Structure 1
Amino acid sequence: MQARIAFVRHGETDWNAQGRLQGSRDIPLNDAGRGQAREAGLALGRGRWDLLVSSTLHRAAESADIIGALIGLQPSLRLPDLVERNYGAGEGRIVQGLPRPQIDALLATGEPEASVAARGVGAIDRLAAEYPGRRIVVVAHGTIIRLTLNAVLGGSHPHVENGQVLELDWDARGRDVRPRALMPRQ
């Protein structure tokens, strides 16, 4: 039996606005990010969801709290496997405008993409298996969402915007993952 999964990227932080890599650093939401979380909650709709889950990092947890107030759920779980990729020496660095080879060198010091994807797929597989047939909102981070989707859908999913909602059906047993609606940022 499939679970309906709605991935939501956390709202904006000051580091997002500055073009800094956050990774596993625990940076809080800014006011714009709180607004994006509210928009995501309104887009998800009240009463449609059974479970609300987030990463343990503050920006995702606060986004989940804001969304939960709008959809009528308290966050049920904070999962360490949903934290953002550790970017190693790149964390805290402004990467906008840097040449691609310099960005790649910074990223190479962090957690491998395959490891991030495996964490993300494993976490969602466990949720789908533990809550079959349920509708689950998962508030996490751009890179782990993108790499998880790439791993199960194939291809290269584009950048996930702050506050963006991506909804799909997920069957952990047969890995039958089908996009339901890919909602652009509000």
Structure 2
Amino acid sequence: MLALVRHGQTDWNAAGRLQGHTDVPLNSLGRQQALDAGTSLSAGRWDVLVSSPLGRAVETAQIIGSELGLELAETVPELLERDYRGIEGTILRGMDRPRIDELMNQAEPEADVADRGIAGLQAVLRTYPEQNIIAVAHGTILRLTLNVLHGTPRDYILNGETVELDPDVVLGYRADPDQLAAACP
């Protein structure tokens, strides 16, 4: 089993700011969301806990781990959030679609983000075969990765939300430029 968890809320999430690689810490609600995720995951049997190297993901993983009696096994650079480059910190709410599209052209391409997320999950699954794994990462990389793997678009993943994924789906994925382009227009 593979559980993907989005980190808890930060003040930038609450404000609607693009975070990307900017290392913004969890706020009090984010810590509670991490605790809630840990509580919900306690119904299962988990062997390994990994996360993105960004502090908000690491802290979320550590809170979850404290609920489950797991230590963070490693941080996985491929699970970093989408790099929004020069537009990190921008609030998109209230902008018209053409302006948003123009700004987003500066960010790491969505297909690259999804491909990186899948590669990171495949590496984790190969490192810890036959183990039940929790991977804590970020909203956009999780959403884009799931969109490619499931072939259906998902608009959003909530802070602290857990999505279970069949490891065979991840391991069986082979890079397909057409599938990436369709899932990440």
- Whether these two folds match at TM > 0.5 is yes
Residue aligned with 2:75, SS: strand
Structure 1 unaligned regions, length at least 5? 177-186
- The equivalent residue for 1:174 is 172
Report deviation, 1:158.
2.7
**Distance apart, 1:88 and its partner CA:** 2.0
Q: Larger helix proportion, structure 1 or 2?
A: 2
Q: Quick one: distance in 1 between partners of 2:100 and 2:85? A: 12
Give, in angstroms, the shift of residue 151 of structure 1. 1.4
- CA distance, structure 1, for counterparts of residue 172 and residue 115 of structure 2: 16
SS at match of 1:76: strand
Q: Output aligned runs, 1:1-186, within 5 Å.
A: 4-45=1-42, 48-171=45-168, 172-175=170-173
Task: Quote how far apart the aligned CAs of 1:47 are.
Answer: 6.2
The question of whether the paired residues in 2 share the 8 Å contact of 1:52 and 1:73 is answered with yes
C-alpha distance in structure 1 between counterparts of 2:160 and 2:105, whole Å = 27
Identity of aligned residues (%): 51
Comparing both structures, which one devotes a greater share of its residues to strand?
A: 1
Distance 2:69 2:87 in 1: 37
| C-alpha RMSD of matched pairs (Å) | 1.4
Structure 1 segments of 4+ aligned residues over 4 angstroms from their partners? none
Q: CA deviation at 1:146?
A: 0.5
Kindly tell me the number of residue pairs found equivalent between the two proteins. 173
CA distance in 2, matches of 1:163, 1:100: 28
Residue number in structure 2 paired with 1:182:
none
TM-score, normalising length from structure 2? 0.89
Q: Could you tell me which runs of 5 or more consecutive residues in structure 2 were left unpaired when the two chains were aligned.
A: 175-185
CA contact (8 A) 1:54 1:140 kept: yes
CA contact (8 A) 1:27 1:59 kept: yes
TM-score normalized with structure 1 length = 0.89
Contact 1:88/1:107, CA 8 A, preserved across alignment: no
